[in-house]
């Protein structure tokens, strides 16, 4: 703990002295942190002993300290209000659009209810209620609605076709009392 305090005080003293001296002792270019294993200005004491150079260090004594050993200013930055290191940058994922929703399967039968028919010798009409849009449609033979084509009108029923599918829609059965009043005489 005392070493950190000493390092911080020395770092602050270096900054103050460099400002007072006109920043002549501070390097002006970028500092190469890749070479953090070598001292900034002077050789380490172990290197001096190996070479036989025991002269006293000249200049700033902080030059003999490795940058790797000065991690306190990276861990607790002086100019950060919280004194916490900034969070590492988060790499954003590249944008990928959401998958397109699958098309709902086509119904096997038309979404129509038969309301009435008009059958003739040459032409025929079907009157339908589209349940999905709640609208009334009048289709004659050969007309198309949502892929379903009216192919045939027979009395109280119609035949619709879509591709290889065929659907027969019929009017609801009449009660017996109504059948008697509608029967021909």
Q: For the segment 49-65, what is each residue's pLDDT rounded down to a tens digit?
A: 555 444 545 688 878 88
pLDDT of residue 6: 60
pLDDT of residue 40: 43
| 155 to 118, 121, 132, 170: CA distances (angstroms) | 8, 11, 26, 9
Q: For the segment 145-162, what is each residue's pLDDT rounded down to a tens digit?
A: 988 999 999 888 999 999
C-beta of residue 14 within 8 angstroms of C-beta of residue 6: no
pLDDT of residue 140: 92
Looking only at the bridges linking them, the beta strands covering 112-119 and 124-130 are antiparallel
Along the chain (185 residues), what's the average pLDDT of each consecutive run of 10 residues?
Answer: 63 62 48 47 50 59 81 82 84 89 85 89 89 90 92 91 91 71 57
pLDDT of residue 69: 82
Which runs of E-coded beta strand occur in 44-176?
Answer: 112-119, 124-130, 135-140, 144-145, 148-154, 157-162, 165-170
pLDDT of residue 38: 46
> What predicted TM-score, i.e. pTM, was given to this entire model?
0.42
pLDDT of residue 106: 78
Domains of the chain: 2-23+35-75 (no CATH), 112-182 (2.30.30)
């Amino acid at each position: 703990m005392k070493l950190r305090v000493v390092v911080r005080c020395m770092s602050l003293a270096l900054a103050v002295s460099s400002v007072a001296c006109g920043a002549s002792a501070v390097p002006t270019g970028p500092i190469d942190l890749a070479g953090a294993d070598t001292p900034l200005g002077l050789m380490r004491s172990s290197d001096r002993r190996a070479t036989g150079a025991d002269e006293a260090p000249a200049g700033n004594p902080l030059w003999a300290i490795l940058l790797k050993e000065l991690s306190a200013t990276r861990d607790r930055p002086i100019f950060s209000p919280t004194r916490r290191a900034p969070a590492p940058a988060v790499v954003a994922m590249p944008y990928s659009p959401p998958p397109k929703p699958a098309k709902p399967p086509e119904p096997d039968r038309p979404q129509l209810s038969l309301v009435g028919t008009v059958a003739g010798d040459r032409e025929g009409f079907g009157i339908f209620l589209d349940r999905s849009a709640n609208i009334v449609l009048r289709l004659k033979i050969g007309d198309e609605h949502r892929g379903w084509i009216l192919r045939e009108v027979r009395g109280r029923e119609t035949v619709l076709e879509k591709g290889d599918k065929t659907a027969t829609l019929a009017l609801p059965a009449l009660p017996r009392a109504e059948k008697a009043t509608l029967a021909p005489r």
